[in-house]
Amino acid sequence: MAGGWGCPHEINDTCSRVNNLPCDPGMKGCVLAGRYVFANEDKNIRLRQKQAREAQAGTQNPKEAPMTFSTTLAAAWRNNNSLLCVGLDPDPAKFPAHLQGQPQGIFEFCAGIADATADLVCCFKPQIAYFAARRAEDQLEALIAHIHEKHPGIPVILDAKRGDIGSTAEQYAVEAFERYRADAVTINPYMGKDSVEPYLAYPDKGVILLCRTSNPGGSDLQFLDVGGEKLYERVARLVVSEWNSNGQCALVVGATFPAEIARVREIVGDMPLLVPGIGAQGGDIEATLKAGKTAAGTGLMINSSRAILYAGKGEDYAQAARQAALETRDAINRWR
């Protein structure tokens, strides 16, 4: 017998998609990642899953207008002819004088950068710590809403690097996707599949897992041998073979380690890679492209934050950022 109000699962059955939580007909639906899923919402989830699979295979029906992270990213790669991700890491100490001490200065600074570069990027990546450290979460919310409204084809990745047990991860997923309305979020895979499932339960959203990070200390754990392979290789294999059933996953691989970019590309096929580490961290653009581009010349979100944000120090900071973004996009495109 089906649950109340058209719940697609059986009463007292379990929802196999997330944590085997029990169906709850009394709540008019079944429990999914702490939310209640109604029959029509469930249908939408199935439709979006189908669209994501078709977009990956290139067989989507244009009339169905798929709106997943993967399809929006693929369209931005194409429409803006760009693999550049501009990272929004606002540090007020580096702001131009006219924005220093302004109550909405963080929003103003980042919105200025976004408006000046939106036609040159494939995505934006705000780093949550820069906002939270200054009690500016409301400005982060406003910034993401601003980007959605003014630049609707450009996906926003919330860089939060979350990772916790399932029940807590459910709250982080609500924070990223429902509070901030991000299109994707960065996640630490260290606690395993059940810690990632609450994010995967949003099949139209991107889940970007740390694999081979750009910092020197990344080698402390990610380079450990685990039964004949390196830990980062195991992460890549797990994600592509077991976690990516909705086609919504991507991996972080630093531009500072091109040999590992090549190895990850070998393991994951065409899965998108978020590649931070060019610009301020000194990663090499040519080596990154040679190691990481797909056969179609895409597959990468190459992040630069400080080198673009602080290219200029005056009132024309956004124009200076645009010039830096343009040069970086073109330097990337030279090797596609």
Ligand X SMILES: O=C(O)c1cc(=O)[nH]c(=O)n1[C@@H]1O[C@H](COP(=O)(O)O)[C@@H](O)[C@H]1O
Q: Which position among 23, 303, 311, 329 is part of the footprint of ligand X (CB under 6 A)?
A: 303
Rounded least distance, CB 130 to ligand X, Å:
8
The answer to whether residue 186 forms part of the interface with ligand X (CB under 6 A) is: yes
Residues 217-246 close enough to bind ligand X by CB under 6 A? none
> Annotated catalytic, 293?
no
Q: Tell me how crowded residue 226 is: count the other CB atoms within 10 A of its CB.
A: 11
Question: Which span (75-83, 209-217, 227-235, 325-333) binds ligand X, by CB under 6 A?
Answer: 209-217
Q: Which position among 276, 292, 311, 318 is part of the footprint of ligand X (CB under 6 A)?
A: 276
Rounded least distance, CB 154 to ligand X, Å:
17
Question: Which span (109-117, 173-181, 187-195, 278-286) binds ligand X, by CB under 6 A?
Answer: 278-286
The answer to whether residue 288 forms part of the interface with ligand X (CB under 6 A) is: no
In terms of CB distance, is 37 or 302 closer to ligand X? 302
The catalytically annotated residue of 161, 290, 293, 313 is 161
Separation CA 70–CA 255 (nearest Å): 21
The answer to whether residue 254 forms part of the interface with ligand X (CB under 6 A) is: yes
Rounded least distance, CB 208 to ligand X, Å:
7
Quickly tell me which residue has 């919402």 as its tokens: 41
Return the structure tokens found at 235.
């992460």
Residues 29-88 close enough to bind ligand X by CB under 6 A? 87
What does the binding site for ligand X look like in residue numbers (CB under 6 A)? 87, 89, 127, 159, 186, 213-215, 252, 254, 276-277, 279-281, 303-306
Active-site annotation, residues: 161
